[in-house]
Chain A
């Protein structure tokens, strides 16, 4: 009987085996890397209506975070400052700067500036700022070195596994409450100090659903 398949088809099983292994692994690692929030979300830096520079205000001028974001110790929400806060200084400083035109516009018309939110959590995750800063989670831990950011970008993935990393081992990340707004803070004995702080503040970071998702 005539042969149906050419001789090279003897190699097909081997090629299939190698091929499917390679493709399978490539697929897994592609999804693992490129579909992760670390890749998709970190570094998100939209262009804002006013080119506000944290690097200038928090870094060079040394303003404390709470000068503008006043509610972080008291509220779930860390507020974006109102135009009033900007005008505290900018009614006298750089009053003719074209970059500040939207701020003056807002001040005159009463229309708010339409800032674009960078650190975005879905509405079914109920994050609370005051719960974190009052027990010594530094701004930097979640938002990165704000004092060095010319344009705000998302510094951390904000994925649930990223939250859980800290909730499962808060001692690795926690710092004294008075150092919360310090940028570039490091402790030599982080774990030892962290464990003490966890005990001191009686921290039981929730690892159950109701903690964040109600």
Chain B
């Protein structure tokens, strides 16, 4: 009995370090919104805008000239546009995973990173959503994908995963934005109450929708948040599943695989977490939020990186095993060609980045090393780009008919568009960093020891952060310690 009582009192590391009060947290998080804009922000914003212009120009030229400006050929008709689409959607998935799935599992450490990750989701989905829109030859009839009654009595064909993509990505974006916005309401209310200028007050006041933080507000808010988390969880799994169907539903050897849906989702979480890590390691430093986004957070994320990276590695193995086990020549050939053919460089880059690099995280020393984590997080995103490249391009380049085998060389426009989307992403992201609280202030406070009613004794005095609740102990007098005696008499 007494052992059990003690075992349940194992102390977890506090989520917020440095003994901060509620007021400190508000102060720390809103500082970068309230302080004058730093010069560095203008510099970065300027650079992002320039890169963003590269995207605008390459899209404009694409529409003017046609998709022939890309390096696609008749054999490999899906190139960088699809690779980047899947890559960006994958990046976006970590955001919902952190905010929804970890919420359902009551993982309180998510509170420090969820706002951040959700913003990343939304901006990554913006970038991703561009590609299905512009990779078509005739962008001006793209609205035909929507099931709208029209004078042609034509509807889209609901059998195509590319149509499911339309629904999946648009729903995903809508729900992510809603989820993000609901989470922001109490925090923009905080900003509304803190900013000085009338215009800023009105803007934040409008976004806060009249939030007063009453019990009734909070009751509805929590319910809504949980429902959204419950809805977003199957959504995040199904969206990337649908993206994987673009490949898995086809008959191409190397694509027609039933493992794709879970494997793509694992890959999405893998790359998404890596991206969150990259951004968060910089931001916590720049905004001096190391006490909120602690090393423990980074370590936990690294563990997820390791788990999903291993799942991806397992999927690579299974693909090879099944190719051999199936006895289908085409299937065997495509996998041998992946590892030894003209794209072997891409394949081995992928293996090195995705399978090997996360395995370093078994070491506690390495996964708590910020510099190393930062390096690995970038390596993983390179690797995951190559995964999509390998899947898309190698499978197409050498399939059934040797007479239609071809090699894919990207042109400057493939590259410019991809690079440009980073400008789009970071332009949005920098605006977010400047104008919205980058950490969910209300949620962070709710997981601090001060928010726990059990941290106060019967007289309402605050007990030291993390102190266990006094318990009735059934301990024999002769083994009772001094502390036990004090507790008994209290």
Contact = CB atoms under 8 A, between A and B. Distances in A.
A157 B152 CA distance: 11
Contact of B151 (A4, A5, A161): A161
A164 B154 CA distance: 10
A159 interface: yes
B151 A157 contact: yes
A116 interface: no
Given A4-B201, A4-B202, A4-B205, A160 B192 contact: no
Interface in A86-110: none
Interface string A150-172: 00000001011110100000000
A161 B152 contact: yes
B154 A160 contact: yes
A36 B202 contact: no
A37 interface: yes
Contacts of A1: 193
Contacts of A37: 151
A1 B198 CA distance: 13
At the interface, is chain A mostly helix, strand, loop or mixed? loop
Contacts of A160: 151-154
Contacts of B198: 4
B367 to A, nearest CB: 46
B450 to A, nearest CB: 24
Interface in B166-219: 192-193, 198, 201-202, 205
Contact of B202 (A5, A157, A161): A5
A159 B152 contact: yes
Contact of A5 (B150, B153, B193, B205): B205
A36 B148 CA distance: 14
Interface residues of A, number: 11
B197 to A, nearest CB: 11
A136 B215 CA distance: 75
B151, B152, B192 — most chain A CB neighbours (10 Å): B151
A164 B201 CA distance: 57
Contacts of B151: 36-37, 157, 159-162
A164 B153 CA distance: 8
Nearest to B193: A1
Contacts of A162: 151
Nearest to B205: A4
B332 to A, nearest CB: 38
A5 B203 CA distance: 11
Contacts of A5: 202, 205
A5 B150 CA distance: 44
Contacts of A157: 151
B149 to A, nearest CB: 8
B190 to A, nearest CB: 13
Interface of B: 150-154, 192-193, 198, 201-202, 205
Question: Sorted from nearest, which 5 A-B pairs have the closest CB atoms?
Answer: A161-B153, A160-B152, A159-B151, A4-B205, A4-B201
Given A4-B198, A5-B205, A36-B151, 14 more contacts: A4-B192, A4-B201, A4-B202, A5-B202, A37-B151, A157-B151, A159-B151, A160-B151, A160-B152, A160-B153, A160-B154, A161-B150, A161-B152, A162-B151
23 contacts: A1-B193, A4-B192, A4-B198, A4-B201, A4-B202, A4-B205, A5-B202, A5-B205, A36-B151, A37-B151, A157-B151, A159-B151, A159-B152, A160-B151, A160-B152, A160-B153, A160-B154, A161-B150, A161-B151, A161-B152, A161-B153, A162-B151, A164-B153
